[in-house]
Structure 1
Amino acid sequence: MSSTLETVQAMLQSVTGLPYCTGTVPLDATNSTLFYRSGDLKADHFSPLQLGIIKSIVESLFHGQREATDTRVELYKLNVYGLGAFFKAHVDTLRSDKMFGSLVVVLPTAHTGGSLIFRHQGNEWTFDSAKAVNEESTPYAAFVAFFSDVEHEV
Protein backbone atom coordinates (compact mmCIF):
# COMPACT_ATOMS: atom_id res chain seq x y z
CA MET A 1 0.00 0.00 0.00
CA SER A 2 1.41 3.41 -0.93
CA SER A 3 2.24 5.96 1.74
CA THR A 4 -0.12 8.44 0.04
CA LEU A 5 -3.05 6.06 0.37
CA GLU A 6 -2.14 5.26 3.97
CA THR A 7 -2.04 8.98 4.77
CA VAL A 8 -5.44 9.58 3.19
CA GLN A 9 -6.93 6.58 5.01
CA ALA A 10 -5.59 7.83 8.34
CA MET A 11 -7.14 11.24 7.71
CA LEU A 12 -10.48 9.69 6.73
CA GLN A 13 -10.57 7.74 9.97
CA SER A 14 -10.00 10.91 11.99
CA VAL A 15 -12.56 13.06 10.15
CA THR A 16 -15.89 13.57 11.83
CA GLY A 17 -18.95 15.02 10.19
CA LEU A 18 -20.71 14.45 6.92
CA PRO A 19 -19.21 12.06 4.35
CA TYR A 20 -19.92 14.57 1.57
CA CYS A 21 -19.88 18.29 0.81
CA THR A 22 -21.72 20.51 -1.65
CA GLY A 23 -21.42 23.98 -3.02
CA THR A 24 -21.97 26.27 -5.98
CA VAL A 25 -19.73 28.48 -8.08
CA PRO A 26 -20.88 31.42 -10.19
CA LEU A 27 -20.30 31.20 -13.90
CA ASP A 28 -19.76 34.02 -16.36
CA ALA A 29 -18.37 34.44 -19.87
CA THR A 30 -14.77 34.20 -18.62
CA ASN A 31 -15.07 30.95 -16.66
CA SER A 32 -17.96 28.98 -18.09
CA THR A 33 -16.52 27.37 -21.18
CA LEU A 34 -17.00 23.63 -21.10
CA PHE A 35 -14.22 22.01 -23.08
CA TYR A 36 -11.70 19.23 -23.35
CA ARG A 37 -8.70 18.96 -25.57
CA SER A 38 -9.03 16.42 -28.34
CA GLY A 39 -7.32 13.17 -27.41
CA ASP A 40 -6.34 14.52 -24.00
CA LEU A 41 -9.41 14.24 -21.73
CA LYS A 42 -8.08 15.35 -18.35
CA ALA A 43 -9.78 17.10 -15.45
CA ASP A 44 -7.38 20.06 -15.47
CA HIS A 45 -8.74 20.85 -18.96
CA PHE A 46 -12.35 20.74 -17.73
CA SER A 47 -12.95 24.42 -17.02
CA PRO A 48 -15.54 24.17 -14.17
CA LEU A 49 -12.82 22.54 -12.02
CA GLN A 50 -10.67 25.67 -12.37
CA LEU A 51 -13.04 27.69 -10.17
CA GLY A 52 -11.71 26.76 -6.72
CA ILE A 53 -13.95 23.72 -6.33
CA ILE A 54 -11.10 21.42 -5.29
CA LYS A 55 -9.88 23.71 -2.51
CA SER A 56 -13.42 24.00 -1.15
CA ILE A 57 -13.89 20.23 -1.21
CA VAL A 58 -10.62 19.49 0.56
CA GLU A 59 -11.35 22.08 3.27
CA SER A 60 -14.85 20.65 3.81
CA LEU A 61 -14.02 16.95 3.78
CA PHE A 62 -10.63 17.00 5.48
CA HIS A 63 -11.03 20.00 7.81
CA GLY A 64 -7.57 21.38 7.02
CA GLN A 65 -5.79 18.04 7.48
CA ARG A 66 -4.84 17.84 3.79
CA GLU A 67 -3.57 20.38 1.29
CA ALA A 68 -5.63 21.06 -1.84
CA THR A 69 -2.44 20.83 -3.89
CA ASP A 70 -2.14 17.17 -2.81
CA THR A 71 -5.51 16.38 -4.39
CA ARG A 72 -5.94 15.58 -8.06
CA VAL A 73 -9.16 15.13 -10.01
CA GLU A 74 -9.46 12.76 -12.94
CA LEU A 75 -12.36 13.23 -15.33
CA TYR A 76 -13.99 9.82 -15.68
CA LYS A 77 -17.22 10.31 -17.60
CA LEU A 78 -19.96 12.71 -18.53
CA ASN A 79 -23.47 11.60 -17.60
CA VAL A 80 -26.45 13.31 -19.18
CA TYR A 81 -29.80 12.36 -17.68
CA GLY A 82 -32.99 12.67 -19.71
CA LEU A 83 -36.63 12.57 -18.71
CA GLY A 84 -37.25 9.61 -16.40
CA ALA A 85 -33.56 8.66 -16.17
CA PHE A 86 -32.02 7.46 -12.92
CA PHE A 87 -28.95 5.72 -11.53
CA LYS A 88 -29.53 2.82 -9.14
CA ALA A 89 -28.01 2.84 -5.64
CA HIS A 90 -24.35 1.83 -5.69
CA VAL A 91 -20.90 2.49 -4.26
CA ASP A 92 -18.35 3.68 -6.81
CA THR A 93 -15.66 1.26 -7.93
CA LEU A 94 -12.19 2.46 -6.97
CA ARG A 95 -10.22 3.31 -10.09
CA SER A 96 -6.82 3.44 -8.35
CA ASP A 97 -5.24 2.94 -4.94
CA LYS A 98 -5.17 6.75 -4.50
CA MET A 99 -8.88 7.33 -5.05
CA PHE A 100 -10.74 8.40 -1.93
CA GLY A 101 -13.96 9.87 -3.34
CA SER A 102 -16.06 11.08 -6.23
CA LEU A 103 -16.99 14.51 -7.52
CA VAL A 104 -20.17 15.39 -9.40
CA VAL A 105 -20.46 18.75 -11.18
CA VAL A 106 -23.99 19.85 -12.12
CA LEU A 107 -24.08 22.33 -14.96
CA PRO A 108 -26.64 25.17 -14.88
CA THR A 109 -29.43 23.62 -16.90
CA ALA A 110 -33.07 24.08 -15.95
CA HIS A 111 -34.44 20.77 -14.73
CA THR A 112 -36.63 19.10 -12.13
CA GLY A 113 -35.79 15.99 -10.16
CA GLY A 114 -32.32 14.56 -10.35
CA SER A 115 -31.69 14.60 -6.62
CA LEU A 116 -28.62 12.72 -5.45
CA ILE A 117 -29.36 10.54 -2.41
CA PHE A 118 -26.48 9.50 -0.12
CA ARG A 119 -26.42 6.69 2.44
CA HIS A 120 -23.62 6.09 4.89
CA GLN A 121 -23.49 4.25 8.22
CA GLY A 122 -27.28 4.13 8.57
CA ASN A 123 -27.83 7.81 7.68
CA GLU A 124 -29.39 9.30 4.54
CA TRP A 125 -29.07 12.76 2.95
CA THR A 126 -30.38 14.34 -0.26
CA PHE A 127 -28.71 16.86 -2.56
CA ASP A 128 -31.30 18.65 -4.73
CA SER A 129 -29.37 19.48 -7.90
CA ALA A 130 -32.28 21.37 -9.51
CA LYS A 131 -32.56 23.69 -6.53
CA ALA A 132 -28.79 24.18 -6.36
CA VAL A 133 -28.44 25.44 -9.94
CA ASN A 134 -31.79 27.19 -10.34
CA GLU A 135 -31.92 29.34 -7.16
CA GLU A 136 -29.88 32.22 -8.53
CA SER A 137 -30.69 34.68 -11.30
CA THR A 138 -27.19 34.24 -12.78
CA PRO A 139 -25.77 30.85 -13.84
CA TYR A 140 -24.16 28.69 -11.15
CA ALA A 141 -22.58 25.28 -11.40
CA ALA A 142 -23.20 23.06 -8.40
CA PHE A 143 -20.89 20.38 -7.09
CA VAL A 144 -21.05 17.53 -4.64
CA ALA A 145 -18.10 15.42 -3.47
CA PHE A 146 -18.28 12.31 -1.33
CA PHE A 147 -16.05 9.61 0.06
CA SER A 148 -15.74 6.32 -1.82
CA ASP A 149 -17.65 4.27 0.74
CA VAL A 150 -20.84 6.35 0.41
CA GLU A 151 -23.74 4.64 -1.33
CA HIS A 152 -25.54 6.99 -3.71
CA GLU A 153 -28.22 7.11 -6.39
CA VAL A 154 -29.89 9.64 -8.70
Structure 2
Amino acid sequence: MASFDPFLGVAQLVDQVELLIDQAAIDHVKRTLDQNAGNVHHNNFKNLHVPPGAFGGNGAAAALGTNHLQAHEVIRATLQGVLDDLHAFRVGLDRAESLIQDADEGSAADLDRKRASDILTGLAGRDTASTRNHEARNQVLRGQGGASS
Protein backbone atom coordinates (compact mmCIF):
# COMPACT_ATOMS: atom_id res chain seq x y z
CA MET A 1 0.00 0.00 0.00
CA ALA A 2 1.37 3.43 -0.92
CA SER A 3 2.16 5.90 1.85
CA PHE A 4 0.33 9.21 1.71
CA ASP A 5 1.83 12.28 3.32
CA PRO A 6 -0.67 15.17 3.16
CA PHE A 7 2.05 17.71 3.98
CA LEU A 8 4.48 16.64 1.25
CA GLY A 9 2.95 18.98 -1.34
CA VAL A 10 2.80 21.84 1.14
CA ALA A 11 6.45 21.35 2.08
CA GLN A 12 7.44 21.44 -1.58
CA LEU A 13 5.44 24.64 -2.13
CA VAL A 14 6.94 26.33 0.93
CA ASP A 15 10.44 25.63 -0.38
CA GLN A 16 9.58 27.72 -3.44
CA VAL A 17 8.08 30.69 -1.55
CA GLU A 18 10.07 33.69 -0.44
CA LEU A 19 8.78 35.31 2.73
CA LEU A 20 8.71 39.08 2.19
CA ILE A 21 8.25 41.07 5.38
CA ASP A 22 7.68 44.81 5.43
CA GLN A 23 9.45 45.58 8.70
CA ALA A 24 8.48 49.26 8.54
CA ALA A 25 4.78 48.31 8.43
CA ILE A 26 5.20 45.90 11.35
CA ASP A 27 7.06 48.54 13.36
CA HIS A 28 4.30 51.07 12.59
CA VAL A 29 1.59 48.66 13.81
CA LYS A 30 3.54 47.90 16.98
CA ARG A 31 4.14 51.61 17.64
CA THR A 32 0.44 52.39 17.12
CA LEU A 33 -0.62 49.59 19.46
CA ASP A 34 1.86 50.72 22.12
CA GLN A 35 0.86 54.40 21.86
CA ASN A 36 -2.86 53.70 22.07
CA ALA A 37 -2.71 51.04 24.79
CA GLY A 38 -2.24 53.73 27.42
CA ASN A 39 -5.09 55.83 26.06
CA VAL A 40 -7.74 53.15 26.48
CA HIS A 41 -6.69 52.27 30.02
CA HIS A 42 -7.22 55.88 31.06
CA ASN A 43 -10.65 55.99 29.41
CA ASN A 44 -13.47 56.39 31.91
CA PHE A 45 -16.10 54.58 29.86
CA LYS A 46 -16.51 51.90 32.52
CA ASN A 47 -17.49 54.62 35.02
CA LEU A 48 -19.85 56.46 32.67
CA HIS A 49 -22.95 54.41 33.31
CA VAL A 50 -26.21 56.16 34.14
CA PRO A 51 -27.87 54.97 37.36
CA PRO A 52 -31.23 53.25 36.73
CA GLY A 53 -33.08 55.87 38.82
CA ALA A 54 -31.91 58.72 36.58
CA PHE A 55 -34.66 57.94 34.03
CA GLY A 56 -37.50 58.65 36.45
CA GLY A 57 -39.54 56.93 39.10
CA ASN A 58 -42.15 55.01 37.11
CA GLY A 59 -41.86 51.37 36.03
CA ALA A 60 -40.93 52.12 32.41
CA ALA A 61 -38.14 54.46 33.51
CA ALA A 62 -36.78 51.86 35.92
CA ALA A 63 -36.84 49.21 33.16
CA LEU A 64 -35.07 51.62 30.79
CA GLY A 65 -32.45 52.34 33.45
CA THR A 66 -31.87 48.60 34.02
CA ASN A 67 -31.63 47.94 30.27
CA HIS A 68 -29.19 50.82 29.89
CA LEU A 69 -27.03 49.45 32.72
CA GLN A 70 -27.03 45.97 31.15
CA ALA A 71 -26.18 47.35 27.70
CA HIS A 72 -23.37 49.41 29.21
CA GLU A 73 -21.94 46.26 30.84
CA VAL A 74 -22.12 44.34 27.54
CA ILE A 75 -20.28 47.14 25.71
CA ARG A 76 -17.70 47.44 28.52
CA ALA A 77 -17.02 43.67 28.46
CA THR A 78 -16.81 43.69 24.65
CA LEU A 79 -14.34 46.57 24.66
CA GLN A 80 -12.25 44.76 27.27
CA GLY A 81 -12.26 41.71 24.99
CA VAL A 82 -11.06 43.85 22.08
CA LEU A 83 -8.27 45.25 24.26
CA ASP A 84 -7.26 41.74 25.32
CA ASP A 85 -7.22 40.64 21.67
CA LEU A 86 -5.09 43.65 20.67
CA HIS A 87 -2.65 42.88 23.47
CA ALA A 88 -2.47 39.22 22.39
CA PHE A 89 -1.88 40.37 18.80
CA ARG A 90 0.98 42.62 19.96
CA VAL A 91 2.55 39.74 21.90
CA GLY A 92 2.08 37.53 18.83
CA LEU A 93 3.90 40.07 16.65
CA ASP A 94 6.87 39.99 19.00
CA ARG A 95 6.87 36.18 19.08
CA ALA A 96 6.63 35.93 15.27
CA GLU A 97 9.50 38.40 14.86
CA SER A 98 11.60 36.40 17.30
CA LEU A 99 10.85 33.11 15.52
CA ILE A 100 11.67 34.59 12.11
CA GLN A 101 14.91 36.08 13.42
CA ASP A 102 15.87 32.75 15.03
CA ALA A 103 15.09 30.94 11.77
CA ASP A 104 17.17 33.44 9.79
CA GLU A 105 20.09 33.09 12.18
CA GLY A 106 19.75 29.30 12.15
CA SER A 107 19.67 29.27 8.36
CA ALA A 108 22.72 31.52 8.20
CA ALA A 109 24.61 29.23 10.58
CA ASP A 110 23.54 26.18 8.56
CA LEU A 111 24.68 27.89 5.36
CA ASP A 112 28.05 28.74 6.93
CA ARG A 113 28.50 25.11 7.99
CA LYS A 114 27.53 23.94 4.50
CA ARG A 115 30.04 26.32 2.90
CA ALA A 116 32.79 25.13 5.26
CA SER A 117 31.91 21.53 4.47
CA ASP A 118 32.01 22.26 0.73
CA ILE A 119 35.42 23.88 1.07
CA LEU A 120 36.78 20.94 3.06
CA THR A 121 35.25 18.46 0.63
CA GLY A 122 36.80 20.35 -2.27
CA LEU A 123 40.17 20.35 -0.55
CA ALA A 124 39.92 16.66 0.28
CA GLY A 125 39.34 15.88 -3.39
CA ARG A 126 42.30 17.98 -4.42
CA ASP A 127 45.55 16.10 -4.93
CA THR A 128 47.94 18.66 -6.34
CA ALA A 129 51.00 16.89 -4.96
CA SER A 130 50.26 13.63 -6.76
CA THR A 131 49.41 15.45 -9.97
CA ARG A 132 52.62 17.49 -9.87
CA ASN A 133 54.64 14.38 -9.00
CA HIS A 134 53.16 12.51 -11.93
CA GLU A 135 53.75 15.43 -14.33
CA ALA A 136 57.34 15.95 -13.14
CA ARG A 137 58.18 12.27 -13.45
CA ASN A 138 56.80 12.25 -16.99
CA GLN A 139 58.79 15.35 -17.96
CA VAL A 140 62.05 14.60 -16.20
CA LEU A 141 62.20 10.86 -16.49
CA ARG A 142 60.75 10.51 -19.96
CA GLY A 143 62.16 7.49 -21.69
CA GLN A 144 64.17 6.42 -18.63
CA GLY A 145 61.61 4.06 -17.20
CA GLY A 146 59.85 6.97 -15.54
CA ALA A 147 56.20 7.45 -14.91
CA SER A 148 53.66 6.22 -17.32
CA SER A 149 50.21 7.56 -18.00
* TM-score, with length taken from structure 1: 0.20
Could you state the TM-score of these two structures normalised by the residue count of structure 2? 0.20
Report 1 or 2 for greater relative contact order, CA contacts < 8 Å, sequence distance ≥ 6.
1
Structure with more of its chain in strand, by fraction: 1
* Greater fraction of residues in helix: 2
